[in-house]
Amino acid sequence: MTTEELKNATVAKSVDARGTACPGPLLEAKKAIGTIKTGDIMEILSADEGTKSDIPKWCSKQGHEYLGAVEEDGFFKVYMKKK
């Protein structure tokens, strides 16, 4: 998905993990994934650079769809769809 598409996507759940470092964002994403439905999109806010490569790996292991990341001011948003 392009940056524009990601920014306009309907997000079912937003996880703000900016206050925590590795593996915090992953742990928070894992907790939140149980609260959304199949097909829902979740965004994870993180300032930990490692998250950008960790979330895609987590998605492929768990069978979720990784959609992409968008840079913000001092942090970024990672998007994924629950399968």
Pairing type for strands 41-46 and 76-81 reads: antiparallel
56 is a site residue for another protein (CB under 8 A): no
21 is a site residue for another protein (CB under 8 A): yes
The only residue of 23, 52, 56, 65 in contact with another protein, by rule CB under 8 A: 23
41 is a site residue for another protein (CB under 8 A): no
The only residue of 5, 27, 35, 53 in contact with another protein, by rule CB under 8 A: 27
What is the rounded CA–CA span in Å between residue 15 and residue 33?
A: 10
Known catalytic residue at 22: yes
DSSP state of 20: -
Amino acid identity for residue 11 in this structure: V
User: Min. distance of Cβ 59 from another protein in angstroms?
Assistant: 10
Is-contact 75 69, C-beta < 8 A?
A: no
- Which residues is 79 bridged to in the sheet? 43, 68
Binding site for another protein (CB under 8 A): 19-24, 26-27, 29-30, 48, 54, 57-58, 61-62
